[in-house]
Amino acid sequence: MSGRRQINDAHVALPGLAVVEVAAADDETAFAVQELLAARCAIAPADRTIKEPGEPGVRLRFFLDLHQDADG
pLDDT in tens, 4-24: 566 555 556 678 889 899 999
Average pLDDT over residues 23-47: 95
* Domain contains 30: yes
* Domain contains 38: yes
* Domain contains 7: no
Closest CA to 59 of 35, 26, 32, 12: 26
Average pLDDT over residues 30-36: 97
* Domain contains 59: yes
* Domain contains 3: no
Residue 50, C-beta contacts closer than 8 angstroms, at least 6 positions apart: 3, 4, 58, 59, 60, 61
Q: Per the structure, how many domains does the chain have? A: 1
* Domain contains 51: yes
Domain residues for the domain of 32 are 12-65
* Domain contains 20: yes
Higher pLDDT, 9 or 61: 61
* Domain contains 45: yes
